[in-house]
Amino acid sequence: MLLMDSARRAGCSPVCLDLSVGLSPSSPGSSPETTADTERLDRPPAAGCRVTSSLSEDQAKTLEARLTQVSEENRRLTEMIAYLYASQVARQSPDSSRKRSRDSLEPSNSSDANGNGNGSGNTKAEPDHAVESALSDEGTCRRIKVTRVCTRIDPADTTLAVKDGYQWRKYGQKVTRDNPSPRAYFRCAYAPSCPVKKKVQRSAEDSSLLVATYEGEHNHPSPTRAGELPIAASATASGPVPCSISINSSGPTITLDLTKNGGGGVRVLDAAEAPDLKKLCQEIASPDFRTALVDQMARSLTKDPKFTDALAAAILQQLPEY
């Protein structure tokens, strides 16, 4: 979110803040906020598509100029992301790592997959699953998975409820120093057999953003999502939504913004899981990721009325007049 703001301040359109970050220029990707127009600009038409061939020379030049501009903005944002990411990693203090290493001594269930249930569950009627991130700890005997999920909520909503498909029991609430809004502590309802805990707190910067931090992994299926894949697997399977990339100011986390469509999980990485940006980019550039991304983009675009309208208009132009 901050990055998006920064991008706007820097005069960049959020349109180009896409997943082509760190990838080859041909990599597909777009923000959910991307308009149909830009979407067509970002990518050359597929083979056999006759749309561009019907454009006038002026239109072609305009489009080309626009493409150049978008590419330039993309490049600048890529650099910005890399810079911010590096800064965030550098800011990781020894304190925080010590704290997390202490956490890692807590009981954890590492035997099964990442059982974090979020994504399709979602909060409120509006499925506005905004940001996810994952933290993993290594270097100790045991390993506890820490996942951060941000959900867009109504600022007036005072309940710290994140409907993620699992049942939770609240066991405490505390006002923390760095945030005026209270932090709620939840344990999985299947405790003590399931050791997962979560902390939920509004973002200090954006009260409409609810930040849930999950610790540990569920050792049971979600009561409401039985049969579905756990987060990490589903993220790859369903594919990440075309999304903007932001950097969570609260920590060294690269987040993927699902603000618009919230249509599924997303592979998320942070400093602990992705030691450097290169690794992150390699992951994003993987064939599976790309395939899932293309699939998700197609689904997203077909849901976008602007896109369908533009497509219909383009098709209409190609129809012979009778």
Partner DNA sequence: CGTTTTTGACCCGCGC
Partner DNA sequence: GCGCGGGTCAAAAACG
Chain residues in the site for DNA (CB under 7 A) = 95, 98, 102, 168-174, 176-178, 183-185, 189, 197, 199
Work out how close the CB of 133 gets to DNA at its nearest, in angstroms, rounded to a whole number. 16
**What's the min distance (Å) between Cβ of 174 and DNA?**
5
- The distance of closest approach from Cβ of residue 248 to DNA in the complex, given in angstroms and rounded to an integer, is 17
Minimum distance of DNA from residue 184's CB (angstroms): 7
Closer residue to DNA in complex, CB, 169/306:
169
DSSP-derived secondary structure letter, 45: P
Going by C-alpha positions, the residue among 152, 207, 164 that lies closest to residue 182 is 207
Alpha-carbon gap, residue 187 to 171, rounded angstroms: 7
Closest separation between CB of residue 176 and DNA, Å? 4
Longest Cα–Cα distance in the chain: 75
Nearer of residues 54 and 173 to DNA, judged by Cβ: 173
Taking alpha carbons only, the member of 197, 207, 201 closest to residue 175 is 201
Residue number, 40 or 199, with CB nearest to DNA: 199
Residue 44 or 172: the one with the smaller Cβ distance to DNA is 172
Minimum distance from CB of 136 to DNA (Å)? 17
Query: What is the distance between the alpha carbons of residues 235 and 289, in angstroms, rounded to a whole number?
Result: 9
Q: Please, what is the Cα angle at 236 between 265 and 88, to 5 degrees?
A: 70
3-state secondary structure of 131: strand
- Shortest reach from residue 186's CB to DNA, in Å: 8
CA dist 148 and 131 (Å) reads 8
52 is written with which tokens? 């561009």
Question: Are the C-beta atoms of 169 and 186 separated by less than 8 Å?
Answer: yes
Residue placing its CB nearer to DNA in the complex, 186 or 307? 186
Q: Which residue reads 């049942």 in tokens?
A: 167
Given the complex with DNA, which of 69 and 224 has the nearer CB atom? Answer: 224
Q: Which residue number, 44 or 180, has a Cβ lying nearer to DNA? A: 180
Q: In angstroms, how far is the first alpha carbon of the chain from the final one?
A: 50
Gyration radius of the chain over CA positions: 21
Min separation Cβ 107 and DNA, Å = 10
Separation between Cα atoms, residue 234 and residue 114, nearest integer Å: 10
Which CB, 6 or 185, lies closer to DNA? Answer: 185
Helix (H, G, I), strand (E, B) or coil at 211: strand
Give the number of other CB atoms < 10 A from CB of residue 196. Answer: 27
- Contact (Cβ atoms closer than 8 angstroms) between residue 72 and residue 20: no
